[in-house]
Amino acid sequence: GESVGLHLPTLSVQEGDNSIINCAYSNSASDYFIWYKQESGKGPQFIIDIRSNMDKRQGQRVTVLLNKTVKHLSLQIAATQPGDSAVYFCAELPDRGSTLGRLYFGRGTQLTVWP
């Protein structure tokens, strides 16, 4: 079955540094990946997504890298700010040719930004 997991449960960085959050997935047929941010008491908030036909996608201060060879996904946050402190989840969608359907979530990485 599908399995999405994270290498590190916690990550602490200094304000202004870059953060890298990693995610491994096991289903080589997975077609679509999303990174979500979850702040305390709130629901998962969409950050960025990527399809399997891409290996990199950039947003505002965030970059997602996809390495299909080793089934690895990463989220890079540039110039990390205190407001970036949250739990970050990667989520995976098996190959369906669309962005619709059941998402499989990883366990999450707690990012803490200290001044």
Partner 1 sequence: EPEVTQTPSHQVTQMGQEVILRCVPISNHLYFYWYRQILGQKVEFLVSFYNNEISEKSEIFDDQFSVERPDGSNFTLKIRSTKLEDSAMYFCASSGINQPQHFGDGTRLSIL
Per CB under 8 A, 106 contacts partner 1: yes
- The yes or no reply on residue 107 touching partner 1 (CB under 8 A) is yes
Q: Are 22 and 65 in contact (CB under 8 A)?
A: no
Contact string 5-34 vs partner 1 (x = CB under 8 A):
-----------------------------x
- Is residue 13 packed enough to be buried (19+ CB in 10 Å), middle (13-18) or exposed (0-12)? middle
With binding defined as CB under 8 A, does residue 58 bind partner 1?
no
Least Cβ distance, residue 91 to partner 1 (angstroms): 8
**Residue in 52, 72, 94, 105 binding partner 1, rule: CB under 8 A:** 105
Q: By C-alpha distance, which of 27, 22, 35, 29 is closest to 2?
A: 27
Positions touching partner 1 (CB under 8 A) are: 34, 36, 41-46, 49, 89, 91, 98-108
